[in-house]
Structure formats: C-alpha cells, structure tokens
Amino acid sequence: MRRVAMFCVAFLLVCGCSSVTAQAPAAPPVVRVWPPFDSKRARPDRGLIVRAQGGTLSQVLVYQDGEPVPGRLDASRTTWRTSWTLKPATEYTVTATATREGAPATVAMGRIRTRAVSSTFHVARTTPLPGETVGVGMPIILEFDTPVRDRAAVEEALEVRAAAPVEGAWRWLDDTRVVYRPRRFWTPRQQVTVTAHLAGVRAGDGLYGGTDTTFAFTVGRKQTSTIDTRTHQMVVYRDGKVAQRMAISAGMATTVEYTTTSGWHLTMDKGHPVRMISPGREKGDPGYYDLMIDHAVRISDSGEYVHAKDNVWAQGRVNVSHGCVNARPDQAAWFYETSLRGDPVLITGTDRPLEWHNGWGYWQLPWEKWRQGSALPRTVAVRGVVPRG
C-alpha cells in the first residue's frame, strides 16, 4: 500500500509540473467608412464606401430618409460601395457588420451628411414619353436643362432596364442631348425602364445633378415598312407578315428638296391635318404651296411625311410629290391609325441619302460609328441592368 501511495504522489507531481497554453482569441476586424461618420459636408459625387480590414463584410445597410440605398460588394467581400452618387444636402445612416473566424464581429453604426450645392441640372424632356407604346426602332432621348461638360460622368449615371437582353450605346448630339440606341431593333412586346441617376453627379465646375429621373415605356408589336421609289410601292409588315400593300408616289426629284431621302427612317409623330408650306418660297413664287394635308405621319425633320393625297392617278406609276410619300386616302388613314412612334420605314431608290441626324435617322449609322459618339469607352450591354464603370 505504501508503494502505491508513493506512485500516486509522483504521478500528481508530474502532472502538476506540465503546462497547458490557452490560444488567444483573434483580433476583431476593423470597419472603415468613407466619408467618415459625422461628416457634415461630404461630396455627393464620390459616393459612399465601406471597407473591412482583417475580415469580410457580412452586411452593409445604408438608408436615406428610410429608403435603402443600393450598393455592391466586391468579389473579396471587403469593399462595399454605393451604386450611384449621393443626393446633395442629404443625411445617410450606415450600419456595417464585419466578421472574422475565431473573432467577435464588429458592428459600425453612424451617419453622414452631404453638402448642399448651389447649381443643379435636371432632365428637361424625355423621348419616349412616360407610359408610351412605341415601335421597335424607337430611340431613347434625354434632354437636359443645362449644358453638360463632364459627359462621361453623366452617361455613367444612365441606366436602362429591359425585359429582353439587348446591346446598346448612348451617343451625344450636343451638350444638352444624349440618345440611346440598341444595336438591333428592340424585341417587341416588352417594357423598358430608364433611370437617370443624376442626383449628386458632377457635370461641371460647381454643377451637380439635382434629382433622379425614372420613366418606363412599352415596345409594342413589330411593324416595319419598305418603300421603293422606283416601283412606287410600299409594303407594311406586321410581326413579319404583310399587313398592307400600298401604291405610292414619291418626290419628283427636280431639286434636292423635292427628292425623297433613301435610308432607314423612323415614324416621329403624326397629325390630321398638317399644314405644309413650300420651303424657301414666298407666296406668288413658282412652286409655292400652302396646304392642309390629311393623315400625315412624319418620318424626318426635312419635311417628309407619308400622307394622304388624291393624286391616285400617279400612285404606283410616277413620282410627282414635293418629297413626301403620297398614298391613297383610305390606305394613308390606315397607316396613320396603325403607326406608333419609332416604327422603322426603309426607303430605297433615290440618290439623296437620309442624314443620320435628320430627324431620327440614327439607324443610318453603322454600329461602330454610332458607338464613337459615346463618352465612355465601351458598349453598354443591357441584361436587366446597365453595368457601370
């Protein structure tokens, strides 16, 4: 019994001399927010960025006036940034959570406020109109109320959402107008939503976007027309099938202005009736006219229409108009009633090409040339959302 007791003591002594090292917990991650919390005059054009050091971001919530602010997390899940610029003179609340294995989570909460701006610009007019149903060739045109100097910054803030995938690009006509055109005609029967995320965008020295603008339109059925001025025939196709054949008379071509332009036109607007006055002529001059014309559908800015005319004797036989496309009154009325703005009309057979900037002759430009009018070095591929950057 004594030997057993001594062994037990020895065992206890050995065990008591051994040490057990406890592993220290990992340091918690650090969350950094830019602009810093409690900023009162943050620049709206630089957006908001949240970064995690020593961990990853598991959640970022940013709100403005109770509404969530959209943003994106990078592939490493260490950087989150707002999708668009911030609104001027606005308060934002931020809650960001960062985690790291073996360490407690870090939660950062705070507020920032953007500075007020003295000069703003806005979208003054949109084409199409909100809620309008249009043809498959319809462009998107935005007009601003103030000239834009930084076109790239503004163009990057323009978002197009389409139900069907489409490739497209913006082209600047001047400092106040920019046009979006898909590479190919829109897929029919779908809704398209356009958002100009302009609030906080810096468009020039001291000039910032004042508000965002959003509108939606519907692409209707696919209707296209072909007009051959040599055979004096017009064919209207609806969803790939012939909907109407029309004998027509085009421009007499005795002068440039009386020559119908060849190329891809779009129906732009229509009137019943429309007053038409001879260009560059005074009353009493040879060739002067001042007429009220029924069922007129405009296809260019140089005075070209598809319209009704009772010169049925010429239709299908000879070109006698002042540049417009004349059709039988009942058929012109049918075309008038069935046309949507943005329906493509292809005219062939004359030696006067339609200029791409004459009306909505945008489809006259090959795709690569169209892209050259963009302020950004890439095509915008729309698959639900236009990517930025």
- Cite the active site residues: 307, 324
d(CA 366, CA 289): 37
Token look-up 């995938």 returns 165
Q: Which residues of 289-316 are buried (b: 16+ CB within 10 A; e: fewer)?
A: eeeebbbbbbbbebbbbbbbbeeeebbe
User: What order do you get walking across the sheet with 123-127 strand by strand?
Assistant: 123-127, 140-144, 177-182, 166-174, 380-382
DSSP codes of every residue in 178-202: EEEEESSPPPSSEEEEEEE--BT-E
- The Cβ of residue 65 has, within 10 Å, a number of other Cβ atoms equal to 10
Give the span between the Cα atoms of 363 and 263, in whole angstroms: 9
Using an 8 Å Cβ cutoff, are 266 and 138 in contact?
Answer: yes
Residue position matching structure tokens 């004594």: 2
- CB-CB contact of 247 with 315 (8 Å): yes
Nearest to 53 by CA among 26, 73, 30: 30
d(CA 294, CA 130): 27
CA distance 269 to 58: 52
- Paired tokens of 316: 């299908």
